[in-house]
Amino acid sequence: MKVLILGAGCREHIIANRLAEDSEVYAIMNVLHPGISKISKEYLVVDYSEVGRIKEWIEKREFDVGFVSPDGLLAKGLSDLLKQAGVPIASPLKQAAKLEWHKGYARDLMKKNNIEGVPKYKAVFGIEEALGFIKENKEFVIKPFGLTGGKGVKVKGEHFHSEAEGLEYIKELIDEDEGALLEEKLEGPEFSLQGFSNGRELLFMPPVQDHKRAYEQDIGPNTGGMGSYSTGKLLPFMNEKDLEDGKGIMRKVMEVMRKENNPFVGILYGNFMVTKDGIKLIEFNARFGDPEAMNVLSLLGGSLSSIFLDMCREGELKGEFSEEASLVKYVVPEGYPVKGKKGEEIEIDEKGIKELGCDIYYGSVYSENGKVYTTPSRTAAVVGKGKDLYEVEKRVEKAISFVRGNLFHRKDIGTKELVEKKVEYVKRLKRNLKGF
């Protein structure tokens, strides 16, 4: 089978790795990615805006399935381009991916169809509208409508501390994007639930917890994700009802989209929060999470290529996941996420990492003359799995010592201290106590 993938990061590296187990991988990427280029039978390095060149390259080849991975490319309609070129696609068309690239659309879709889990919200297009919402919701969250790489959401009390500061950011978003989404501030830990969708049904993956904050103990600015863990069927702070409620919300959204002649074929990702009032949806994504893709694809048994093909054909989705724990820790350049240092050479001892039973996936890096260099974004991810999360965490920490450069990472992700802190947080919430 010949599979085409678009994208060049850690998430795309593990996807390409799993596809290559039983298929020929072809890749289109905007930089020479050191991992994906080694895996690929053929690849094209091109600016994604050069759609004519991309289409010409695709049309000279035949593919059994195509997969557009990053959110930005889905929003630009690259899945639509593949479909126009005659490639069966396992990623959503631009209109279906609107679930992610326009947050107001997702909220309105759920509200209109009485789907539970929607926080109080208002799409605002002027300051007077914003003042009206803030008057009724003193604690609130500000979200851009569009894509911001996980860094655009601001929460009162964390990213801004007064109404005046909040209004300043809202005005900035209105000027840039013609509007903003305001939501009530919720309390609770978050989890990611991902599913393969053929437009009719979902094959769910194990839930994962991402860690967005840049620094240990969940402080600092938001990032694209500093690392994540899974523990099999449930996360330690979840119960069975939390998981089933999350699945139910995702199934209902997919069913509504199908009825509205906008079927969602691809990876549907629900970002949920466990609150004292039950599960609430923070946002939808239209692709694998990054880092969460590395957790779940490390646990997937069987063929990813076959699942992608069944997604295209609306076939029955078959796949099983190990109930082992999995852990991802990102190493990132000094200064990330505000101003990560670029052009810094890094050295990675892949053999040393493998000997510890871990894997390394390259992120936003580039190759020149056989050497690997940083960009301002996340550099690489070290991934481990095993029966016990805390044993895996120790192995991953050792493996990170084989990654050398002007880099840092969060040492606390997956530790017993941080996991138990989240468990206690949920207990406090359910006793109607505040504080983390």
Contacts 24+ apart (CB under 8 A), 51-54: 51/81, 54/28, 54/78, 54/81
Residue 109, in any domain of the structure: no
Which CATH number does the domain housing residue 128 bear? Answer: 3.30.1490.20
Give yes or no: residues 72 and 217 share one domain: no
- What's the confidence (pLDDT) of residue 150? 67
Mean pLDDT to the nearest integer, 24-46: 97
Better-scored residue on pLDDT, 233 or 32: 32
In this prediction, what percent of the chain has a pLDDT beyond 90? 90
What Å distances lie between residue 349 and 399, 404, 405, 419, 430, CA to CA?
A: 9, 9, 12, 29, 46
Record the pTM.
0.94
The domain containing residue 347 runs over which residues?
Answer: 190-420
Which CATH number does the domain housing residue 362 bear? Answer: 3.30.470.20
Beta strands 24-29; 42-45: pairing state: parallel
Residue 429, in any domain of the structure: no
Give yes or no: residues 133 and 269 share one domain: no
Give yes or no: residues 299 and 387 share one domain: yes
- What's the confidence (pLDDT) of residue 436? 45
Residue 104, in any domain of the structure: no
**pLDDT score of 258 more than 50:** yes
Closest CA to 25 of 414, 379, 304: 304
DSSP letter at 211 equals -
Give yes or no: residues 128 and 166 share one domain: yes
Give yes or no for a cis peptide into 337 (omega within 30° of 0).
yes
Give yes or no: residues 235 and 284 share one domain: yes
Residue 314, in any domain of the structure: yes
Mean pLDDT to the nearest integer, 376-396: 98
What confidence tier does 232 reach under pLDDT thresholds 50, 70, 90? confident
How many domains, in total, are found in the chain? 3
Give yes or no: residues 83 and 124 share one domain: no
Residue 252, in any domain of the structure: yes
Residue 108 CA neighbour count, 13 Å, CB half = 11
State pLDDT tens for residues 135-159.
999 999 999 988 877 678 899 988 8
Give yes or no: residues 202 and 322 share one domain: yes
- What's the confidence (pLDDT) of residue 315? 86
Beta strands in 276-323 (DSSP E): 278-285, 300-301, 320-321
Q: Residue 261 CA to chain centroid, in angstroms?
A: 26
Q: Residue 157 CA to chain centroid, in angstroms?
A: 25
Structure tokens at 424: 């206690």
